[in-house]
Amino acid sequence: MKNIKKRGFTIVELMAVISIIAVLIIILVPTITGYVNISKKLNIVIQARNAIEYAVSVGISPENNIKLIDLKNNNVFIDYERSLDCLQDDIQYSTLRSISRDQEAVNKIKIENGKIIEWTGENPYKKK
């Protein structure tokens, strides 16, 4: 009778590989999630800076205390080619200015579903 060698992996080898993969997932998922949140916060800061620069270029005074929705309703952003989708409509223009000027803005922003819900810097904002 011929001696037939079985080829394949043992249960121990499979469990070791699965354990290594599980540990990598446990380590990588929070790290990746953190990077995604930082990129969303940076997007908010960039949108605030771009909105302020555009509003100033069309003649809106930097000292104006108006909400973003009022600027949109008054067609200030009618020719604006960029997105404002991360900024809440009820956020004050002065808060946007504060976000755009703050060097530590990313650390002072709280987000939910990719939109700003709280700003703890100068001219604080909290979504109602």
Strand (E) or helix (H) holding 126? strand 125-126
Would 16 be classed as within a structural domain?
A: no
Rounded to whole angstroms, how far apart are CA atoms 64 and 105?
A: 21
Would 14 be classed as within a structural domain?
A: no
Would 106 be classed as within a structural domain?
A: yes
pLDDT of residue 1: 58
pTM score of the predicted model: 0.76
Would 11 be classed as within a structural domain?
A: no
Would 113 be classed as within a structural domain?
A: yes
Counting the structural domains of the chain, the total is: 1
pLDDT tens sequence across 98-113 = 998 899 999 999 998 8
Residue 109: both structure tokens together: 């922003």
pLDDT of residue 38: 92
Q: How does DSSP assign 109-124, residue by residue?
A: EEEETTEEEEE-SSS-
Would 18 be classed as within a structural domain?
A: no
Which residues form the domain of 54?
Answer: 34-126
pLDDT tens sequence across 1-31 = 567 677 788 899 999 999 999 999 999 999 9
